[in-house]
Amino acid sequence: MSRLQDGTRKVLSISEVLGVKDEKVDLQEIFTFERIGVTDTGKVQGRFKATGIMPKILERLRISGVQLPPAIFEEVVPVKM
C-alpha cells in the first residue's frame, strides 16, 4: 500500500511469504502495479500485472478444495480510476 502522486492510496504489490532466512522475511512478488501514465486531471493510471511466477501455496490450496485458474498468474488487468 502506498500513496501515489495524485493522493490516492493503492496496493502496489502482492507477494507470497516464502519463509524467514537469517531473520529476514523472504518474499516472492506475484502481482505488481505498473504505472502507465497520468490523466489530464492528474489521476495516476496503471494496471496490475502478473509476474508470471506461480505461488508455491497453490498446491496446498488445491488440496483444500480451492481451485485457481493458472491463467490469472499471466494476466494484465487495467485499473479504472
The 10s digit of each residue's pLDDT in 14-67 is: 999 999 999 999 999 999 999 999 999 999 999 999 999 999 999 999 999 999
| Start-to-end Cα distance in the chain | 16
**Which helix H or strand E contains 58, and what residues bound it?**
helix 58-63
At 75 the pLDDT is 83
Q: What span, in angstroms and rounded, lies between the C-alpha atoms of 66 and 24? A: 29
The chain-wide mean pLDDT, for the chain, equals: 91
Integer angstrom CA distances of residue 9 from 33, 36, 42, 60: 12, 16, 14, 32
At 81 the pLDDT is 59
